[in-house]
Amino acid sequence: MAQIIKHGIKDLLDKANAEVKKLSIPDAGAVFDKDDYVFVDLRDIREIQRSGKIPGAFSCPRGMLEFWIDPQSPYHKDIFNQDKTYVFYCASAWRSALSTQTAQNMGLSPVFHLDGGFNAWSEAGLPIEEHSRKP
């Protein structure tokens, strides 16, 4: 018997986008290099290797987000324990909407997600840091 999905991705994204704040591309371009903002790239390392990232962004694979945010987790990263504004992004703002909702529900604040994601950032001609592969 086939599975019956009660809440599809469209429903989940609609709910997340209704609960979280977006940061527009122009606004993000104005603050990405400010010390009180942390841009968090949720994309897989292969995506970052292919297309680069927002300069200075912290790479956090989507699957590790909750573990890296929680100070009680053995995988906690101190970058998530600062009095800063967090801006999550992925390629098209789907993973980042869900991630921002999760981070907000966990108590991380303030949190935003990048409207349009890295694709919109790139299309706007904003700076991109090339990923250097380690030998």
Q: What is the set of domains in the chain, with CATH numbers? A: 11-123 (3.40.250.10)
- Percent of the chain at pLDDT > 70 equals 97
pLDDT of residue 36: 98
Is the bond into 110 cis (omega within 30 degrees of 0)?
yes
Q: What is the mean pLDDT of residues 18-22?
A: 98
Mean pLDDT of the chain: 96
Whether the per-residue pLDDT at 135 is higher than 50: the answer is: no
| 3 Rama sector, left if φ>0, alpha if ψ -120 to 50, beta otherwise | beta
- The helix (H) or strand (E) run that includes residue 114 is strand 111-114
pLDDT of residue 37: 98
pLDDT of residue 133: 60
Q: What is the pTM of this model?
A: 0.94
